[in-house]
């Protein structure tokens, strides 16, 4: 039997990258998963899976998070874990390189996905998670802890997420545990802000950039999405981490160990 047998889970950003790897690993571990995706075409091969429900929507909207929770209740009779994973990057955009108008729009693009969406998710899921004594998990980043993982908007959004994890761990205790996983450089097509004209850009499209990243990482390679999924299993399981709340587990090949 899998380590997540019968666990009812929501994963946002489930259509690609780390979110998709979480879905595959969780299904293999016996979970039932509501996958929140932005693009209708994503996850076509999982549409008829008996343990999968798909919700299409913008996570920055409260309604999408609420619909996901309702789907978990209706289809799987409850919710044990909400994984707020969707995110966008800023490709290291510097403050000085943005006009005031661009800055306002890019702020909205990045904060609404990286911070507001998990905030809305926690609010929308709180009652269901309290009922199951469940768990809330976010995907952070090495940028939760250090500068240089992005530009000012991305770094600030991930620092804010760290504050959300710690504060919610206090507010949702003792019924719900709140934690995060902080990946470092991962080979995905992470995209960026539309206001910064990065919506169609993919981080791993620049192979030279990906190779260059590896040279700064103590373990000397850029991770794959599946390298992080064991930590989500640990945090979402009933018994593997019952005393952990308010923590963010870093999975970055040693990058922030040097600070």
Distance CA 135, CA 35 (A): 17
**CA geometry: angle 131, 159, 113, nearest 5 deg:** 65
Distance CA 138, CA 160 (A): 12
CA distances from 175 to 129, 135, 171, 231, 233 (A): 8, 9, 10, 21, 19
Active site residues: 154
Shortest approach of ligand NAD to residue 58 CB, angstroms?
Answer: 4
Nearer to ligand NAD, 173 or 205 (CB): 205
Shortest approach of ligand NAD to residue 13 CB, angstroms?
Answer: 3
Nearer to ligand NAD, 38 or 162 (CB): 38
Yes or no: say if 23 and 15 are a contact pair by the CB < 8 Å rule.
no
Distance CA 126, CA 122 (A): 6
Footprint of ligand NAD on this chain (CB under 6 A)?
Answer: 13, 15-19, 38, 58-60, 85-88, 113, 139, 141, 183, 185-186, 188-191, 203, 225
Shortest approach of ligand NAD to residue 60 CB, angstroms?
Answer: 5
Shortest approach of ligand NAD to residue 59 CB, angstroms?
Answer: 4
Nearer to ligand NAD, 78 or 108 (CB): 108
Nearer to ligand NAD, 148 or 189 (CB): 189
Shortest approach of ligand NAD to residue 6 CB, angstroms?
Answer: 26
DSSP string covering 34-92, please? EEEESSTTTTGGGTT-TTEEEEES-TTSHHHHHHHHHHHHHHHSS-SEEEE------TT
Of 139, 138, 130, nearest in space to 171 by CA: 130
Nearer to ligand NAD, 128 or 143 (CB): 143
Distance CA 7, CA 55 (A): 18
């Amino acid at each position: 039997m899998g380590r997540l047998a019968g666990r009812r889970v929501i994963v946002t950003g489930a259509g690609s990258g780390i979110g998709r790897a979480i879905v595959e690993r969780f299904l293999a571990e016996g979970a039932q998963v509501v996958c929140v995706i932005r693009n209708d075409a994503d996850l076509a091969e999982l549409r008829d899976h008996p343990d999968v429900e798909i919700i299409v929507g913008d996570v920055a909207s409260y309604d999408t998070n609420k619909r996901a929770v309702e789907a978990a209740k209706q289809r799987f009779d409850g919710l044990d874990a909400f994984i707020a994973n969707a995110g966008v990057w800023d490709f290291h955009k510097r403050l000085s390189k943005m006009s005031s108008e661009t800055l306002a729009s890019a702020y909205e693009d990045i904060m609404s996905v990286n911070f507001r969406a998990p905030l809305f998710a926690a609010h929308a899921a709180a009652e269901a998670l309290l009922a199951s004594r469940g768990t809330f998990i976010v995907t952070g980043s090495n940028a939760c802890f250090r500068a240089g993982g992005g530009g000012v908007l991305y770094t600030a959004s991930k620092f804010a997420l760290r504050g959300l994890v710690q504060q919610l761990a206090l507010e949702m205790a003792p019924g719900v545990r709140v934690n995060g996983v902080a990946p470092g450089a991962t080979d995905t097509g992470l995209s960026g802000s539309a206001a910064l004209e990065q919506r169609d850009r993919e981080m791993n499209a620049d192979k030279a950039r990906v190779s260059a990243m590896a040279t700064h990482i103590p373990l000397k390679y850029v991770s794959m999405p599946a390298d992080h999924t064991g930590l989500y299993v640990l945090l979402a399981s009933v018994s593997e981490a019952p005393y952990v709340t308010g923590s963010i587990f870093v999975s970055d090949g040693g990058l922030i160990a040097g600070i």
